[in-house]
Amino acid sequence: MYKGFVAAKDKVYATACTLPYILFFLMLYASSFSQFFDKYGAYFILMVGLYLTYVTAILNLNSTADMPFNWFFLEPLFYFAIIYVD
Domains of the chain, by residue range, sit at 2-85
Q: What is the pLDDT of residue 3?
A: 87
Q: What share of the chain is helix, strand, coil (3-state, %, to 5)?
A: 75, 0, 25
Q: What is the pLDDT of residue 81?
A: 96
In this predicted model, what pLDDT tens digit does every residue of 10-63 receive, in sequence order?
899 888 988 999 999 999 999 999 999 999 999 999 999 999 999 999 999 998
